[in-house]
Amino acid sequence: MRVFNLSIPAFVKCSLTLPGTFMLLLAGVSTASASNITTPGLTVSSGGITFSNFTCASSGTGTSDGGCSSITVTGLTPEPAGLEFTTNLSVSGSGTADAVLGFGLSSTSLINTVGLSFTSTFMGMEVNSVTETVYASQNGPVVGYADVICGAVAVCTSATDNISLNGDYNSLYVIKDISLVSFDSTGIGTQIALVSGGTISSITQTYTEVPEPASFVLGGGVLLLGFVSKMRFRRCN
C-alpha cells in the first residue's frame, strides 16, 4: 500500500499570519457623510443596521427658525451602530418649534436597547425636549419609550436616556418628536423681562445589538485560527 505525504509545505505554513487578517478588517472602515432628512429614497447604514423610509413634518409659532430642511442625518461609524441628527431648530421670545421624524430600521442582529441623547442651549423660560417612541413595526405596538428634557424645568444643556425594549427585534419603527417651547416672561409676576430662547443642535441615537449564538462559535474559531497561525509562523522562524 502506497502512503502519500500530505504535509503542508513550509512556505504555505508561513503564508497565513494575523497581521494580514487585521489589515483586511481595517480596510473596511469608512466615514459616513451627512444627508438631508428630506432626501427622497434616503437610506443610511451603520454597523449591521439599515435605516430607511425617513419622514419629517415641522411646525412653528412666534419667532422660530429651522425645520425639516435644516435637519441632516449621518450613520455612526465605527460602532456603536446608530444615527446622528444635526438641526438648526431654534426659538426665541414667545414661540414654539417642532419637528416629528419617522424612520424604519432592519438589523442583521437582534436589538434590545436604544440609546438617546441630545445637546441644546437655553435662556430664561425655555424648554427643549426629545420624545422617542419605538414600535415593533410602522403600524405595530409600542415596544419602548423615552422623554428627555432640558431647559428651565430641568437645568441642563444635554440629556441622555436608554430605552430597554420589551424584547429582541430585527426590525423597528421609530417616531422622534423634537420640541422647543419658549415663554414670554412678561405678565408672570416678574418685574424684569427676561430674554427667553433656545436651540437643539444635535441628537444621537444608538442601538445595542444582541450577539447571536453563532457569532460566539465564529469568534472562537477566529481566535483558534489566529493561535495556530502564530504557532506555525514561529516554527518557520
Bridge partners for 162 per DSSP: 115
Is the pLDDT reported for residue 15 higher than 50?
no
Average pLDDT over residues 182-192: 60
Average pLDDT over all residues of the chain: 79
Handedness of CA 164, 168, 174, 175 (dihedral sign): negative
pLDDT, mean of residues 24-37: 57
pTM above 0.75, yes or no: no
Q: Spell out the domain ranges in the chain.
A: 36-218
Indicate the Cα dihedral angle 18, 207, 163, 43, nearest 10°. 180
Using CA atoms, how far apart are residues 223 and 211, in angstroms rounded to an integer?
A: 17
Reported as a single tens digit per residue, the pLDDT across 202-217 is 999 999 988 766 544 4
Residue 16 has pLDDT above 80, yes or no: no
pLDDT-based confidence at 32, cuts 50/70/90? low
Q: Do 96 and 179 touch, CB atoms closer than 8 A? A: yes
pLDDT at 124 over 50: yes
Residue 221 pLDDT greater than 50, yes or no: no
CA–CA distances in Å: residue 154 to residues 91, 93, 125, 132, 192:
17, 19, 11, 18, 22
- How do 126-135 and 158-182 pair as beta strands? antiparallel
Cβ atoms of 179 and 147 within 8 Å: the answer is no
pLDDT in tens, 133-159: 999 999 999 999 999 999 887 888 899
pLDDT given at position 33: 86
Q: Residue 184: what pLDDT?
A: 73
Query: What is the total residue count of the chain?
Result: 237
- Residue 24: its pLDDT value, please? 30
Fold classification of 36-218 is: Jelly Rolls (2.60.120)
Q: What is the pLDDT of residue 168?
A: 97
Q: What mean pLDDT is predicted for residues 212-229?
A: 50
Cell of 221: 474559531
Q: pLDDT tens digits for 72-117?
A: 999 998 879 999 999 999 998 888 999 999 999 999 999 999 999 9
